[in-house]
Amino acid sequence: MEKLQSLTAHRLKELIEKGDVRPSNILSDLFDRIKALDGKVKAFVRVNKPDAAEADRVNKAGKLAGIPITIKDNICVKDEETTCASKILADFKPPYDATVIKKLRAEGAILMGKSNMDEFAFGSSCETSCYGPTKNPWDLERIPGGSSGGSAAAVAADETILALGSDTGGSIRQPASLCGVVGLKPTYGRVSRYGLIAFASSLDQIGPITKDVEDAALLLGVIAGHDEMDSTSVDVPVPDYKRSLVKDVRGLRIGVPKEYFIKGLDKEVEDSVRGAINVLKDLGAKIVDISLPHTEYAVSTYYIIAPAEASSNLARFDGVQYGHRAKTSKDMIDMYIKTRSEGFGNEAKRRILLGTYCLSSGYYDAYYLKAQKVRTRIREDFDKAFGACDLVVTPTSPTAAFKIGEKMDDPLSMYLSDIYTIPANLAGLPAMSIPCGFSKNSLPIGMQILAKPFDEETIFRAAYTFEQNTEFHKQKPKL
């Protein structure tokens, strides 16, 4: 009998439909796996244990009937603690489901619990969580990436079948790369943000983290679509992404930007990504050299816009209506100060301060407004590039996973971990990370594929073709 926890969602779906496997069998294997491993990996902050009979009664006609999925701890699930891995939201239980959760339930998915993350998604390593760091299943002394580190680690360690993450500057793709799984940031507006606790509202997107490309197509097809509850949700048709899973890249023009292959990129990462580009070339794709000249300003631009929006969004966490409140205070102002001082971690405080400064009187034009203008230039770079190519291929992360604690005292170095993923968020583009190699230390390396807005189908076509002609996605960490 195959180990159910190691199988993909689409394979398990086949077994369930044939009657060879029940959802309760899958859950049983996963819970055994979590019990054995999660004390080391720490991917979960809370685990749900649905009743076996109830699990077997799920909507059998659903696209995810009986398939377990893990949810990042910043996505609201009704009456289930949702804390963004922050003390300030201790014991907060949302009174409603996020739109993506409603869609998952409607298609028969089984919610397994909440995965660990950087506090309020502020981080690239999953070390800023109030629950402590998640470990990379490939090397427990290393970070899994962030901020969706728990989701990526759970998928890589076979502690879940599917996972949802959120991506503001690379928080799905970077941990997917470092954990050797597939991670997709959809086009901004493709998936509803209703019920996602906001970090930076103009950048955030919910997306899938999965074991292979087909599972990503399956999960995106469930969660995508227009939502009247989200004013940034775009009313465009959702295609059948599984139809894009064809093993053929002949004629596809793949742009390789010179700005992404410069000093600071680890040689093993560069060799793996260039090797992957050559695989696509050998399969019939046309490789085109392109330029994205404003790339060098992306990190600076992001770290003005994202903290500015975060400082505004996090102003609501004040101890008045929900979450943590300081036990003693002289008056309301004192209560605000004590509550926020006690509730937020160091990185959250750093970003609130940065953002509030950028929005303050006398600095708004010099920082936030100028950053928005540079953001437009970055988007224009991509618009021009897509006149010459269908896809852009880059590294996902400049290095493989680094050691836990290695960059915690060097915020700038940590921020540069997202140098290759940030531009897609600033431009609102879809982007996927897929496994494309390993370092000499047997650590996964990811390749990033970007496309025009709402052209996830072409990403799936290229990613699936590459995956079906390589073996990287089949390798598992030896836990």
Q: Which tokens is 360 given?
A: 């303050």
184-222 burial, b for 16+ CB within 10 Å, e for fewer?
A: bbbbbbbbbbbbbbbbbebbbbbbbbbbbbbbbbbbbbb
Cis peptide before 291 (omega within 30 of 0): no
Beta-bridge mates of residue 403: 142
Is 72 among the residues known to form the active site? yes
Rounded to 5°, the CA angle 267-262-125 comes to 70
- Active-site residue among 72, 185, 338, 407? 72
- Size of the chain in residues: 479
Q: Determine the 3-state secondary structure of 111 from DSSP.
A: strand
Residue 234 in tokens: 């775009």
The β-bridge relationship of strands 286-290 and 391-395 is unpaired
Around 11, how many Cα atoms within 13 Å sit in the side-chain half-sphere? 14
- Annotated catalytic residue within 148, 166, 171, 192: 171
Please provide the DSSP assignment of 126-175 as one string.
S-S-TT----BTTBTTB---SSSHHHHHHHHTTS-SEEEEEESSSTTHHH
Single-letter code of the amino acid located at 463: A
Residue carrying structure tokens 């004192």: 334
User: Longest Cα pair distance anywhere in the chain, in angstroms?
Assistant: 71
* Both tokens assigned to 340: 């926020």
Bridge partners, residue 434, by sequence: 447
Judge whether 171 counts as a catalytic residue.
Answer: yes
Euclidean distance between CA atoms 251 and 281, whole angstroms:
10
**What is the rounded distance in angstroms from the CA atom of residue 103 to the CA atom of residue 64?**
10
> Three-state SS for 251?
coil
What whole-number distance in Å separates Cα of residue 186 and Cα of residue 194?
15
For residues 118 and 103, give the distance between their C-alpha atoms in angstroms, rounded to a whole number.
Answer: 25
Provide Rg for the chain, Cα atoms: 21
* Catalytic residue (choose from 86, 115, 124, 147): 147
Helices 213-223, 9-18: axis angle to 10 degrees equals 80
Compute CA distances 432 → 183, 440, 449, whole Å: 6, 24, 5
147 catalytic residue (yes or no): yes
Report, as residue numbers or ranges, the catalytic residues.
72, 147, 171
